Amino acid sequence: MKNLREIALPELEVMMAELGEPKFRAKQVHEWVWQKFAADINDMTNLSKALREKLSQEFFIPKVKMHHSQYSSDGTIKNRLQLHDGFYVESVLIPTEKRMTACVSSQVGCSLSCKFCATGYMDRKRNLDFDEIVDEVTLLNELAINHYNKKLSNIVFMGMGEPLLNYKEMMKAIEKITSPDGLGMSPKRITVSTAGVAKMIRQLADDQVRFKLALSLHAATDRKRNEIMPINETNNLATLIEALNYFYKATGSEITFEYILFKNFNDSLQDAEDLVKLYRKVPVDLINIIEYNPIDAAKFEKPDEEQVEAFMDYLTRNKVNVRLRRSRGKDIDAACGQLANVDATPNP
């Protein structure tokens, strides 16, 4: 059985001609798949029963299903999604006054083993297909409408997995999400976050992407970054700086640094100075300073509030555009670095 959603419109037109069907049937099928998001071929009620039976013999629609949701006291909703082959991923809906953001996953598990991230302690089982990523977004959009009476305004690829190690499927998903015959979202409202795959950052530049890029930095020297992010051993800071400058020169797209503060590791004024030096080597629009969210597998701690303020103040005094990002959904393990709790019990 083949995935019907992998058949592009021109191929559908050829297929319909071979079945003796008029050309417009291809457009009808395409609309059912990508605009009405049909879960089953038999839902395509404007097709004849005979055609639906023919299609059902060869194709299926591997829809992602909402398994359960957990609701935070701050309004954040974490969702466990079931894939057609039984694997699970987590995604998060994050509401604020001005935005309705979907945080989506790109892989089942992750291969990068970042020491502070719950997903990093999982094995990578497989990449998500492009249509599964689109399903994530559509499910969160439906949740936003049903729960908050608002559509999604933003999408961040900051869930489980490294998006740039699922490059082809991620790009196809974004193409469908931004296409007029898909969700029609502006690429400027999409941010792809990477732990730092320099080769693929360059590929983004060559592909002239229009979405935003975020680098999960978390340490401003190779010595410290090697300790917490093994990927830095093959993608060091000098290589990443070069790739990010190449990306910005080619696309002009916004770049942000993500920097989690860990007590007595990367939160000193010397660390802040190192971060300022790095900031000045790349046309970074913003540095997001992120609260650390504890996980059972790691021994890191959150710094004292006074230390956070001193760190922020040093950056501000050195003319760094910086923002403190308060964590959302901590009470349901939905905050940054906590996605992997796939055995969580659903709320009643």
Question: d(Cα 76, Cα 149) in Å, to the nearest integer?
Answer: 15
> Of the residues 13, 21, 90, 169, which is catalytic?
90
> Of the residues 103, 110, 117, 336, which is catalytic?
336
301 is catalytic: no
Q: CB count, 10 Å around CB of 10?
A: 9
Q: Which one-letter DSSP state was computed for residue 140?
A: H
Among 86, 88, 68, smallest CA distance to 78 is for 68
Q: Which two tokens stand for residue 12?
A: 């559908």
Q: Which two tokens stand for residue 235?
A: 């993608």
The residue count of the chain comes to: 348
Residues 166-197 as b/e (b if ≥16 CB within 10 A, e otherwise) read bbebbbbbbebbbeeebbebebebbbbbbbbb
Q: CB count, 10 Å around CB of 344?
A: 16
Q: Which one-letter DSSP state was computed for residue 114?
A: -
Q: CB-hemisphere CA count at 13 Å for 55? A: 26
Question: d(Cα 269, Cα 261) in Å, to the nearest integer?
Answer: 12
258 is catalytic: no
Decide: 212 and 253 in contact? Cβ < 8 Å.
yes
Among 345, 344, 346, 342, smallest CA distance to 123 is for 342
Among 324, 330, 314, smallest CA distance to 276 is for 314
Decide: 340 and 118 in contact? Cβ < 8 Å.
yes
CA dihedral 256, 110, 343, 158 (to 10 degrees): 10
CA distances from 188 to 192, 209, 211, 255, 341 (A): 11, 10, 5, 12, 30
Catalytic residue list: 90, 336
